Amino acid sequence: MKKLFSWNALLTLGIAILLAKPFLSLVDWALVDAVWRPDPKACRAAHGACWGFVAEKYRFILFGTYPYEEQWRPALASFLLVALWVFSALRMAWRRWLAAVWLAGLALIALLMWGGILGLPYVTHERWGGLALTLILSSFGLALAFPLSLALALARRSALPVLRWIAVGYIELVRGVPLISLLFMASVMLPLFLPSGMSIDKLLRAQLALVLFAAAYLAEVVRGGLQAIPRAQYEIADALGLSYAQKTLYVVLPQALRVAVPPLVGTCIGFFKDTSLVVIIGLFDLLSTVKVSLTDPAWTGFGAEAYLFVALIYFAFCFAMSRYAATLEVRPSGAA
């Protein structure tokens, strides 16, 4: 054991020595020699990172082309969305009234983003962009897709053949095509099937495609959790005289969802990042606004700093989701 410990200590020390120089070089580039003020000439003359690009373009990156004087609205809407997710993560909030809280919160967010009443100027969705659009698409998509995924997973395991075939056909069809195809269909093909004079908002079409896509993948994750439940659990629920709805809500789903937490979180993280694909239908999310910012001739050549800034934002949200999922796996489902 002592010999093994010594070898592990030596290996750790060796790796630390090998990484020390690259780490110190990164610190020098990112902090010591960095330029923090928005001055392109100073950035080109310096040897470090140019965080002045972020200082100059952060409003466009976070809020897109939303009117400058009204950008407090998407900032507040983003804060409310994050607050809703944090509040929903608290076990004390796992009550029936949580759905009402979400409805009220989403209505307030829609009011802030669109405006048009209560003295707020109306802003079309074409002006939305950046982090606010990414959070809206991912939050609305997951919030609407999750109930649909539960219904699809239960339908796929149903004893009714027609219901099971419909669920299987939908899940396999959606999972068999890339998200880009669904977004393209929603943006270009769907309007062709609508009656003359009728149109659906582009943002709504994109959101619908994202919901249908996420529901299919989440349904398979939930189905895996349902299959992991021992048959005895179903038999005990039947012996107690529980109805199908009671057995599903109080016995089966709580256990299945806890088993499915790791893949559920992985799917949600992937979906959060997949929202960047909406650029193909003319919506500019967080990643797209960075690409547009780099087209400014004065700031050409500072892509590393721009993408590192966005990577840190994505990492913060994804890491928070993964750590929360880890706490759900460790703590018992009935713990306070």
Pick from 35, 50, 78: nearest CA to 286: 78
H or E element, residue 256:
helix 253-259
pLDDT given at position 169: 92
> 68, exposed or middle or buried, with CB in 10 Å at 0-12, 13-18, 19+?
exposed
Q: For the segment 182-205, what is each residue's pLDDT rounded down to a tens digit?
A: 888 877 777 777 777 666 777 888
pLDDT category at 116 given cuts 50, 70, 90 is confident
Distance CA 5, CA 2 (A): 5
pLDDT category at 218 given cuts 50, 70, 90 is very high
pLDDT above 70 (res 37): yes
Question: Of residues 100 and 14, which shows the higher confidence score?
Answer: 100
Q: For the segment 41-80, what is each residue's pLDDT rounded down to a tens digit?
A: 888 887 878 888 888 888 888 988 899 888 999 999 999 9
Q: Which residues make Cβ contacts (< 8 Å) with residue 93, sequence separation at least 6?
A: 87, 101
Distance CA 12, CA 102 (A): 48
> 131, exposed or middle or buried, with CB in 10 Å at 0-12, 13-18, 19+?
buried
pLDDT given at position 333: 45
pLDDT given at position 332: 45
pLDDT category at 227 given cuts 50, 70, 90 is confident
pLDDT given at position 5: 57
Q: Which amino acid is at 137?
A: L
C-beta contacts of 246-252 below 8 A and 24+ residues apart? 248/154, 252/226
% of residues, the chain, pLDDT over 70: 94
Distance CA 140, CA 154 (A): 22
Distance CA 231, CA 235 (A): 7
pLDDT given at position 4: 52
pLDDT category at 336 given cuts 50, 70, 90 is very low
pLDDT above 60 (res 228): yes
Model pTM above 0.85: no
pLDDT given at position 330: 64
Mean pLDDT along residues 231-245: 82
Q: For the segment 161-185, what is each residue's pLDDT rounded down to a tens digit?
A: 888 899 999 999 998 888 888 888 8
